[in-house]
Amino acid sequence: MTRMKNRGSLVVISGFSGSGKGSVTKELIRKYGYSLSVSMTTRKPREGEVDGREYHFKTEEDFLKLIDYNGFIEYARYVDHYYGTPRQFVEDELAAGHCVLLEIEVQGAVSIKEQYPDAILIFITAPSAESLKKRLCCRGTEDSSVIEKRMHRAAAEAESIDEYQYIVINDDGKMNECVDKIHSIIEGEACRVSVNHDFVELIQRELNEEQPS
Ligand code: 5GP
């Protein structure tokens, strides 16, 4: 559908901590050129994280001010910290017709679904709870109490998977399959009649005009 520039689509990618959703998202951007919304957070940067790349790191005071200014399309508190999606970037990208990925947790996903009914909600998971825990421990970036909290949170999040339209397993050593599957989902969703109203109207009008009078 290349004749009309549609508004871009919003793709929510969620998953348990340790599901590999960060790597999957990075690969989607590298391989398929999607746009990524960089969130704001009040948590401290992990080793190797760069301000403005993984997150915009903010003080709690600044974050709360931005909430007051309606600066987020959604925000949530997750394991003692705030996380939020900046409004301006997302709105600009959608208006430019780009497909924007939001890597956010379930409360945020639910809020996006309410505000953007055409958003595509995808949940990424490891193949099992055991493999999830192993990945979290191997990562070595969190101590055992944080890992415990994140496993606890994963159990709560699992109860909300029904909020999503798609679930994709990121199997050990098969990240590329997961990435390609998500790309196919996004491409398929772009062909929905409900997101191509303008084109449908155009072709209906053209066909009417083509009728002999
Ligand atoms: P982490 O601290 O591991 O980077 O992220 C913790 C959780 O916060 C992850 O599930 C991540 O997807 C989520 N998250 C990151 N940015 C946002 C955001 O802007 N909004 C919401 N609701 N969740 C976010």
Secondary structure (DSSP) of 37-59: PPPEESSPPPTT--BTTTBEE--
pLDDT at 152 over 60: yes
Pairing between β-strand 81-86 and β-strand 100-103 as defined by DSSP bridges? unpaired
Q: Give pLDDT tens digits for 172-196.
A: 899 999 999 999 999 999 999 988 8
Ligand 1 pocket test, pick from 74, 103, 106, 123 with the greatest ligand atom count within 8 Å of Cβ, gives 103
Secondary structure (DSSP) of 83-105: EEEEHHHHHHHHHTT--EEEE--
The pLDDT value recorded for residue 2 is: 57
Domains of the chain (ranges; CATH) run 10-37+99-209 (3.40.50.300)
Residue with CA at minimum distance from ligand 1 atom 15 = 104
Q: Are 126 and 18 in contact (CB under 8 A)?
A: yes
Q: Give pLDDT tens digits for 80-132.
A: 899 999 999 999 999 999 999 999 999 999 999 999 999 999 999 999 999 99
Neighbouring residues of 119: CB distance < 8 A, sequence distance ≥ 6: 9, 10, 11, 12, 112, 113
pTM: 0.91
The pLDDT value recorded for residue 88 is: 97
Distance CA 71, CA 61 (A): 14
Share of the chain above pLDDT 70, in %: 96
Element containing residue 60 per DSSP (H, E): helix 60-68
Q: Which residues pair with 122 in a beta bridge?
A: 13, 166
Kindly give the number of the ligand 1 atom that is closest to the alpha carbon of 14: 12
pLDDT at 1 over 70: no
